[in-house]
Amino acid sequence: MKLAAVHIIAIFILFGSGIPLHAQEKLNDTLRIKAVSIRGNLSMTSANIRQVDSLEIQNNQGGSLADLLAKNAPVFIKTAAPGSLATISMRGTLASHTQVSWNGIRINSPMLGQVDFSLIPIFFTDQIQILSGPVSTLKGSGGLGGHIDLASHGKWGEAFYGSLTNTIGSFKTYRILAEAGGGGSSFQTRVRLFHEQSENDFPFLNTANGLFNRVKQQNADFSKKGLMVQAFYQPNAKHLIGIHAWLQSSNRSLPPIMSYEGIGRNEYQNDSQIRISANWQFASGAFNSKLNSGITVDRLDYYLAHQTGGGLLVNYQTESISQSIFNNYQGSLYLSEKHKLKVHIHGNYHKVEIIDQKSGSGYNADRGEVGIQVMMEQFWTRQFKTYALIQQDWIQKSQIPLIPSIGLAYQFIPNLLELKASAGRNFHLPTLNDLYWIPGGNPDLLPEEGYLADIGLHAMLSADSIWRLEAEITGFASYIDYWILWKPGEFRYWSPQNLNTVLIKGFETSIHTSVQLNKIEAKLRANYTLTHTNQLDSENNTLAQLIYIPIHKATVFLHLARNAYYLNYSYTYTSERFTSTEEEFSLHSLPAFSLHQISLGRKQALLGLNTDLHFQINNLFNADYQSILWRAMPGRHYSINLTIQF
């Protein structure tokens, strides 16, 4: 199977590959600038690195990263209910196969390997970059599906600024966002905070109790609050120092599944996170460098008890805490006008403690990680660029096999049509829960080994500042050996196992167009993804689609604005998902669903303040659907939002 994987990667390489290669790319000598919209020629960047549009970020300020990605990116977000755990599937992989970083430090849980995207407020995020497939190795190993890079910036050039946002929504949902900041030419600070709470008691159609009646969601309330503080110091054009602190906590009641028929239950989860990152950037001539250090502390408390005839019976009372230390150095040097060398060195340490107060079971574990990455970019001509990358990691003093990646970008028609792709190898380590969870952990698990490749075409047309059309299509394929999947065992508990091989193949396509005509502005973005994720048996026969991975996913976003008024509309389609890998899998599936969202707003200057008032309708056509089997989702619901900026 590995030989077959090498063959398919070789085919992709013969047809070309590419990644972001920016001629004369350097650390910004002057960092005190405001964000601007750029309408220009093709930039020779990879088809599989997407910068989320600032308009999409702005339109989702009150939501979570889960909300934004579900509506605007070629990924599938799996969630149990609003406010509950939300995980990602990128290019047909599992939640732990997508790595997430914030201001230079990874925020994936070392216990679970995944990120709860419902706990990442868009309000705390200024830049979102999505790296799919092989190019995820630019940010390190582990991203068999991809990597999502988040950044929170300062606002240089403003002596003082602030904003206040208040949202009132259905099901007694309230949200407040506030920020303030400012400074001088060499020093800036920025403070942001949010608080959100909801009873989340929406009505839903119960399809599991045999009555098919509408009932109200129980035990689903939640509250979240967070604070982000940042400080920046720039003594001159060569140096920039930044310190970032992100503190957050949440309390969530977990509702029962639709089919629950017990007397009563009490289930909740409390999460808290501390994330601190400090970095120093230096730029001088052809040399750039960035040194970053950070720590994260995550705590998760879980409680489950059932009401019985004899009183309350506690099933689980689990406390877990994970601590991580990160150190990263990145340097780049132009050896000549056509050669650029990049070096990335990292050293990380993770420690986990978990105990169930009910049973007394748990585990303590730690893991050290060291790695070095070297990449060479070659600018052959203005139309043709290549790169080669190699990475070596050591985990607990054990050496992981080399991780290579190569690619190229070629413009067939300058500034109009470009071919780009990439190919490489990647590894994903078992999580600490995979190895040590009691009962069921499997210390003999092997790392997941992936061979990844993609190829894409990117085209762009524009007419000055009047209109712009950008389109791309990318085909991808991945062979992943030793895929880790939890399965029920012979002793009535689940345990992770290495599967033989999983084959993933499909394509992504998107179109983005904008028109500016007199006082009317229009923007349209559409994405479609087709993904087949299948386990192969011992004879390389393709088995059923893996559970909870949709074959088809499509999104549409439309923005219309005239003078002070604007209208936003989004549409999301998710195809059927299987909930079992049994032979009669057609009997174990969730039907496809479509969601529509629309909002109407007005921006106005009032008493020296800038205001933005909009009304939003979610699930416009009141669809009954489930993202996870027997987990209810809300029908049509509303919110009204007011933002005041000064």
Question: Terminus-to-terminus CA distance in the chain, angstroms?
Answer: 60
Over residues 219-243, the pLDDT tens digits come to: 999 999 999 999 999 999 999 999 9
Query: Of 185, 242, 325, whose CA–CA distance to 27 is shortest?
Result: 242
Does residue 553 surpass a pLDDT of 60?
A: yes
Looking at residue 587, its pLDDT comes to 58
Give the integer Cα–Cα distance in Å for 128 and 137: 17
Strand 403-413 and strand 311-334: the pairing is unpaired
**In sequence order, which residues have a C-beta less than 8 Å from that of residue 119 and are 6 or more positions away?**
64, 224, 248, 250, 271, 273
Does residue 491 surpass a pLDDT of 50?
A: yes
Query: Of 71, 130, 7, 89, whose CA–CA distance to 506 is shortest?
Result: 89
More confident residue, 195 or 9: 195
Does residue 22 surpass a pLDDT of 80?
A: no
Q: Which of 33-37, 210-214, 571-575 has the lowest mean pLDDT?
A: 33-37
More confident residue, 15 or 427: 427
Looking at residue 47, its pLDDT comes to 52
Share of the chain above pLDDT 70, in %: 91
Give the integer Cα–Cα distance in Å for 468 and 291: 38
Q: Model pTM?
A: 0.90
State mean pLDDT over 566-572: 96
Output the CA–CA distances (angstroms, integers) from residue 200 to 25, 65, 121, 332, 490, in the order listed: 48, 19, 18, 49, 39
State mean pLDDT over 318-333: 97
Tokens of 216: 């109200």
Is residue 160 within 8 Å of residue 182, measured between CB atoms? Answer: yes
Give the integer Cα–Cα distance in Å for 192 and 274: 15
Give the integer Cα–Cα distance in Å for 143 and 139: 9
State mean pLDDT over 101-124: 96
DSSP 415: T
Give the integer Cα–Cα distance in Å for 49 and 18: 10
**In sequence order, which residues have a C-beta less than 8 Å from that of residue 140 and are 6 or more positions away?**
99, 106, 147, 344, 346, 371, 373, 391
| φ, ψ of residue 10 in degrees (nearest 5) | -60, -40
Output the CA–CA distances (angstroms, integers) from residue 173 to 121, 189, 439, 637, in the order listed: 16, 31, 39, 11
Share of the chain above pLDDT 90, in %: 73
For the stretch 202-205, contacts whose Cβ atoms lie closer than 8 Å and that sit 24 or more positions apart, written own/partner, are 202/82, 202/170, 202/171, 202/632, 202/634, 202/635, 202/637, 203/635, 204/624, 204/632, 204/633, 204/634, 204/635, 205/624
Where are the strands (E) in 237-286, listed by range?
239-253, 265-284
Q: What angle do CA 139, 145, 146 make, to 5 degrees?
A: 30
**In sequence order, which residues have a C-beta less than 8 Å from that of residue 395 and are 6 or more positions away?**
367, 368, 369, 429
Residues 574-595 as b or e (16 or more Cβ within 10 Å = b)? bbebbbeeeeeeeeebbeebeb
Confidence of residue 49 (pLDDT cuts 50, 70, 90): confident
Q: Which residue has tokens 């007005």? A: 602
Looking at residue 44, its pLDDT comes to 45
State mean pLDDT over 525-543: 90
Q: Exposed, middle or buried by CB within 10 Å (0-12, 13-18, 19+), for 374?
A: middle
| φ, ψ of residue 69 in degrees (nearest 5) | -65, -35
Structural domains of the chain in order of their starting residue, each with its CATH number: 2-645 (2.40.170.20)
More confident residue, 311 or 465: 311
| φ, ψ of residue 381 in degrees (nearest 5) | -140, 180
Give the integer Cα–Cα distance in Å for 86 and 79: 4
Bridge partners (DSSP) of residue 527 are 510, 555
Give the integer Cα–Cα distance in Å for 260 and 268: 16
Looking at residue 165, its pLDDT comes to 97
Tokens of 625: 């659907």
> What is the residue-averaged pLDDT of the chain?
89
Reduce the secondary structure of 97-120 to three states and give it as a string: HEEEEECCEECCCCCCCCCCHHHC
Does residue 549 surpass a pLDDT of 90?
A: yes
Does residue 609 surpass a pLDDT of 80?
A: yes
Over residues 417-454, the pLDDT tens digits come to: 999 989 999 999 999 999 999 888 999 999 999 999 99
Over residues 576-601, the pLDDT tens digits come to: 999 886 654 455 789 999 999 999 99
Looking at residue 494, its pLDDT comes to 85
Tokens of 183: 């400074």
Does residue 174 surpass a pLDDT of 60?
A: yes
DSSP 629: T
Over residues 198-211, the pLDDT tens digits come to: 999 999 999 888 88
State mean pLDDT over 608-630: 94
Over residues 292-303, the pLDDT tens digits come to: 999 999 999 999
Confidence of residue 60 (pLDDT cuts 50, 70, 90): confident
More confident residue, 235 or 262: 235
More confident residue, 586 or 143: 143
Query: Of 284, 371, 400, whose CA–CA distance to 28 is shortest?
Result: 284
